Amino acid sequence: MREELFRLLQNHAYRFREEPFTLASGRKSRHYFNCKEITLHPERLELLCKYLVEKHIPDSGLSGKESYGGLTMGADPICYGISLEFRHQGRNVFPLIVRKQAKDHGTKNLVEGAVNAVKTCVVVDDVVTTGASTLQVVKSLRDAGLEVTACICIVDREEGGRDAIEAEGIRVFPIFKKSEFGHVE
């Protein structure tokens, strides 16, 4: 499954060009990963989440966690897919959505979902670059009273994000690293 996921990423989500892209972090890079080409395609998302639940999560020692949550919108389909794959196994594992900022009406919560039904959460991200958005999620989840000690992501861009996240006591388990895609900058 991992090899098929790699091929799908390479063919649909990864771009390399001489003229650098501007990333969400503001950094420039000739490597671009648009993982929404995986997460917003039903067949590709199904394969990703099947791989995560059947192989990546168990191999990372995270099988007992009660919820998976990340920053809306990039992590949403992954968290929902993980939850559904666990449901196929007869387990309720809850997806959590973390907003960038609280709404000014209603409950004004930053974290949505079954927050009161769980104690542990694994942070989910599509691509880790600087780690800033992942750490924003960690803070919101911890502020909501959840234990957060791990992060899974599709791609670690190997640009310091993993180190920044791990400095906060969060183990990072990427499926892929940028260096696996060739092209050295």
Query: How many alpha carbons fall within 13 Å on the CB side of residue 73?
Result: 4
149 marked as part of a ligand binding site: no
100 marked as part of a ligand binding site: yes
133 marked as part of a ligand binding site: yes
125 marked as part of a ligand binding site: yes
| Residue closest to 178 by CA, chosen among 8, 15, 39 | 15
Q: What is the DSSP letter of 61?
A: T
65 marked as part of a ligand binding site: no
**Whether 178 contacts 31, CB under 8 Å:** yes
127 marked as part of a ligand binding site: yes
128 marked as part of a ligand binding site: yes
157 marked as part of a ligand binding site: yes
105 marked as part of a ligand binding site: yes
164 marked as part of a ligand binding site: no
**Would you list which residues are annotated within the binding site for orotate?**
129, 157
Binding-site residues from annotation for 5-phospho-alpha-D-ribose 1-diphosphate: 99-100, 103, 105, 125-133
Annotation: binding site:
99-100, 103, 105, 125-133, 157
